[in-house]
Amino acid sequence: MSAIASTSSTPRNSLLRPIALGGLIIGTADAIIYHWLVSSVLGGYPLTSVLQYIASGALGESAFAGGPPAALLGLLFHYMISFVIAAVFILSASRITLLRRYPFVGAFLYGFGVFIVMNLVVIPLSAAPPLPAPTTSQRSSSIS
């Protein structure tokens, strides 16, 4: 029997698949629901601008003049962040019994925590420009 065939997968290798799958699911769901549906369809912002805003976290205002390459960089950043978010949850769940016992409650609380950290820590510390306040017409159209 060869040495390769006799080695078992390490715990680290067994976690790579759920991290990759989780990152793809998180990234794709967020891209479809928030970036496309909420921001583009309902908010009226072109998807390219939404992705450029993500890239502006690293590039600053110049991301908006970067065209499609900046949008692709924003998409890359979006998925990188999604994989990190999935990795932290999966690695935490492998060590914290409560997260394995109550995965939906844990995932909900973790998602809320990610939302808070992204909006109150990561985005303000990035080079992304502040978003403008909604205009009166935008607020009244979202109410009706």
The answer as to whether 136 is a domain residue is no
pLDDT category at 6 given cuts 50, 70, 90 is: very low
Return the SS3 of 108.
helix
The answer as to whether 131 is a domain residue is no
The answer as to whether 43 is a domain residue is yes
pLDDT in tens, 82-128: 999 999 999 998 898 888 899 899 999 999 999 999 999 999 999 99
The answer as to whether 7 is a domain residue is no
How confident is the model at residue 90, as a pLDDT?
Answer: 92
The answer as to whether 58 is a domain residue is yes
| pLDDT at 8 > cutoff 80 | no
How confident is the model at residue 132, as a pLDDT?
Answer: 73
How confident is the model at residue 92, as a pLDDT?
Answer: 92
| pLDDT at 142 > cutoff 80 | no
pLDDT category at 135 given cuts 50, 70, 90 is: low
- DSSP for 61-100 reads GGGGGSHHHHHHHHHHHHHHHHHHHHHHHHHHHHH-HHHH
| pLDDT at 138 > cutoff 70 | no
The answer as to whether 84 is a domain residue is yes
Number of domains observed in the structure of the chain? 1
List the one residue out of 47, 53, 70 whose CA is nearest residue 127: 53
How confident is the model at residue 9, as a pLDDT?
Answer: 54
pLDDT in tens, 13-71: 788 999 999 999 999 999 999 999 998 898 888 999 999 999 999 999 999 999 999 99
Higher pLDDT, residue 11 or 55: 55
Determine the structural domain holding residue 96 and report its residue range: 16-27+36-126
The answer as to whether 133 is a domain residue is no
Per DSSP, 127 falls in state S
